[in-house]
C-alpha cells in the first residue's frame, strides 16, 4: 500500500462512515473532509506565529513528528497528538480539538482549499508526544522573545 493510500485509510478509519469520507475527498471540489477528533488523535492548534517555529524545533529533534496541518492564511498550525491530550491541556492561547469536536482534513498528498499538510500523515499512526510538543513550544517562544528583544 502506498504512503498516501495508507494515510487515507488511517485518517478515514475515525470517520463514522469511512467510505463516505473517502468519497468526499475524491469528489468534493474542496478536497477536504470533516473528521472527528478524540478517537485516534487530538489536535493542538497554535497561532501561526508560534506554530511554525515550534515545528522547526520539532523537526530538529525528531526524525518524524506526527501530522501537522496549517490553514492557508498561516494563522493556525495544528499538531496531531495522542487522544485525551485536549482534555488535559492547560496552555494559554492554544486551541484544542478533542472528543466531541471535528476538524477539516485535506486528502493526504493533495492540495486542498483552506488547509494543507505541513507534515502529512504516513499512515503509521505516528503522533507528536504532547510533552515534547510543549518543550518545543517553550523553545520556540524563547527564540521569538530573543528576536523581539534584538538578541537573536
> What pLDDT does 1 receive?
47
**Band of pLDDT at residue 86, cut at 50, 70 and 90:** very high
Helix or strand (DSSP H, E) at 104: strand 102-106
pTM score = 0.92
Residue 152 has pLDDT above 60, yes or no: no
**Band of pLDDT at residue 66, cut at 50, 70 and 90:** very high
Instruction: Give the three-state DSSP class for 77.
Output: strand
Distance CA 47, CA 81 (A): 16
Amino acid at each position: 500500500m502506498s504512503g498516501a493510500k495508507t494515510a487515507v485509510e488511517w485518517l478515514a478509519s475515525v470517520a463514522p462512515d469511512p467510505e463516505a469520507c473517502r468519497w468526499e475527498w475524491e469528489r468534493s471540489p474542496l478536497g477536504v473532509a470533516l473528521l472527528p477528533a478524540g478517537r485516534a488523535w487530538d489536535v493542538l492548534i497554535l497561532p501561526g506565529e508560534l506554530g511554525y517555529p515550534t515545528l522547526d524545533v520539532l523537526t530538529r529533534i525528531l526524525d518524524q513528528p506526527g501530522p501537522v496541518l496549517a490553514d492557508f492564511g498561516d494563522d493556525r498550525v495544528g499538531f496531531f497528538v495522542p487522544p485525551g491530550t485536549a482534555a488535559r491541556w492547560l496552555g494559554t492561547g492554544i486551541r484544542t480539538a478533542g472528543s466531541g469536536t471535528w476538524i477539516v482534513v485535506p486528502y493526504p498528498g493533495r492540495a486542498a482549499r483552506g488547509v494543507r499538510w505541513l507534515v502529512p500523515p504516513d499512515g503509521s499512526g505516528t503522533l507528536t508526544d504532547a510533552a515534547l510538543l510543549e518543550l518545543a513550544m517553550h523553545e520556540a517562544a524563547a527564540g521569538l522573545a530573543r528576536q523581539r528583544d534584538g538578541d537573536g
